[in-house]
Amino acid sequence: MKQNILRGRDIISMADFSKEDILYILRVADQVKKSNPNRLLSGCLMGSCFFEPSTRTRLSFEAAMKRLGGDVIGFADSSTTSAKKGETLYDSIKIIGQYVDIIVMRHPVDGSARRAAEATDTPIINAGDGSNQHPTQTLLDLYTIKESQKSIDGIHIALVGDLKYGRTAHSLAQALSHFNVRLYFIAPPSLQIPPHIANHVKAKQVKFSFHEKLDDVLPKLDILYMTRIQEERFSDSMEYNRVKDVFRLTLDQLGAVRPSMRILHPLPRVREIDPSIDATPHAYYFQQAQNGLLVRQAVLSLVLGKIE
């Protein structure tokens, strides 16, 4: 049996993970799915530190912990914490780290998760740091891609929408660059993938191209990864109104796609995917969200050293 390489490790950025690490986590997620070990984390306490509001990710982590018999303390909003009184993140995390076995943290500032990890020996799981990283979202995306296509190697995948600010797109592009994939970045020019991510993908010799229209590449795809155009990222409402409906996927666009093509979305969706698509076999975003629970159960169990 493989030794648990994640025991006690911080989960901060996909850049810290090798292809082997990723495949190991995905295998353990499969193991959790099959065995449903409901007392595995009994006696373990998770600190759920959400300095920025989140519904899905927070509930998913808390449910993952509780369904494995663990317990949770924490906060869902920084207005109730000492951060409001001017306490540094470093100090807050140093203290919280003394109370719990593992910390799951979301914070609006880029790089805050890495900083938090310096403050404590208690493992930190990054549940989103500003526009930087959201590694468990990426792991569940990869799990879902593998589940739906049987393999990650060899697939053609398009990342669509707000690729400039969307951290899920950044992390996923980085992680996919470990695999033999073909990437299509589809976005309005003002929201294209940042150069530092494109450079990373290029350095790994993964083929990629930039597009402004979805229809051009739809028939080539195995995975269509849609993301939300985030209104809060625009200082100019005219610019937002100009791009918000550019990448709206409707049923009539799916006529020429591969039968096995699956549509993913980190959710919440607003207007990007027409609800009439939900009933087609191409819609896979709800299974994807469900996989979030499994993957987070796997990550918590691995980091807490309760599973091999």
Per rule CB under 8 A, count of chain residues that contact another protein: 22
Tokens 């850049």, residue located: 15
- Asked if 95 interacts with another protein (CB under 8 A), we say no
Question: 13-21: long-range contacts at Cβ-Cβ below 8 A with a sequence spacing of 24 or more?
Answer: 13/113, 13/114, 13/126, 13/132, 13/133, 13/135, 13/171, 14/133, 14/135, 14/138, 14/171, 14/172, 14/174, 14/175, 15/133, 15/174, 15/200, 17/135, 17/175, 18/178, 19/178, 19/179
Distance CA 179, CA 174 (A): 10
CA atoms within 13 A on the CB side of 159: 31
Instruction: Tell me if 305 contacts another protein by CB under 8 A.
Output: no
Sheet holding 124-129, edge to edge: 71-75, 45-50, 102-107, 124-129
User: Candidates 34-42, 66-74, 191-199, 291-299 — which segment interacts with another protein by CB under 8 A?
Assistant: 191-199
Contact pick of 37, 69, 130, 305 for another protein (by CB under 8 A): 130
Answer yes or no whether residue 205 interacts with another protein by CB under 8 A: no
Find the catalytic residue in 134, 156, 167, 178.
134
Interface with another protein, residue 57, by CB under 8 A: no
SS3 207: strand
211 lines the binding site for another protein (CB under 8 A)? no
Nearer to another protein, 197 or 214 (CB): 197
Q: Is 199 in the site for another protein (CB under 8 A)?
A: yes
Among 7, 115, 220, 248, binds another protein (CB under 8 A): 115
Binder among 2, 34, 196, 235 for another protein (CB under 8 A) = 196
Q: Which residues bind another protein (CB under 8 A)?
A: 13, 15, 88-90, 108-112, 114-115, 129-133, 195-196, 199-200, 203
Looking at the annotation, which residues are catalytic?
Answer: 56-57, 85, 106, 134
